[in-house]
Amino acid sequence: MSTAALIHLVRKGGYQVRRALLTSRLLQDEKRPTVECYSSTSERRASRFDPDGSGRPATWDTFGIWDNRIDEPILLPPSIKYGTPIPKVSLSNVGCASHIGKRKENEDRFDYAQLTEDVLYFAVYDGHGGVAAADFCAKNMEKYIKEFLAQEENLENVLNNAFLEINNAYERHAHLSADELLLP
């Protein structure tokens, strides 16, 4: 089958035709020609999949983030001031929804608050595997963020410090809880 006929069949065929073609052993076993793109210049050009023009594709880490692009700055329009909510959001307009799927119990937790005039706090804690850490974070994270926000204005540093502190606090809490279970 020619490439043109195959493309026409995929475009005009229904869902079942596309599915059959994509899962067909014929297409899976067939050696496909490599496609090359030639241009009038010998310069390498950056693309989304080769941003530095090195010829090596950008890689993904296990969380689906461009692992070699983490330190890139977020480019905001010059009119937006860092850390100022745009537009102002009233907490009376904030809510949440959750779907537990096939689980018996919802392990997710959420929290939100206005920490200062210009800083709002929104958080979702995924309980994956149990509610203990999600409950602890929902009850305590706001306190740690407020504590560090009173000491410093840089929101990135505030969040880094708050996450480190809540991690240490939860470790102590979990250790004490385990000790209490062992006491007669």
Round the CA-based radius of gyration of the chain to a whole number and report it: 26
Output the six-digit token pair for 54.
Answer: 């090195």
CB 144: neighbour CB atoms within 10 A?
19
61 Cβ contact list (under 8 Å, min separation 6): 67
pTM more than 0.85: no
CA atoms within 13 A on the CB side of 34: 3
Extents of the domains making up the chain: 1-33, 91-182
The pLDDT of residue 16 is 60
Could you report the per-residue pLDDT of 14-55, keeping only the tens digit for each?
656 555 655 554 445 444 444 444 444 444 444 555 556 666
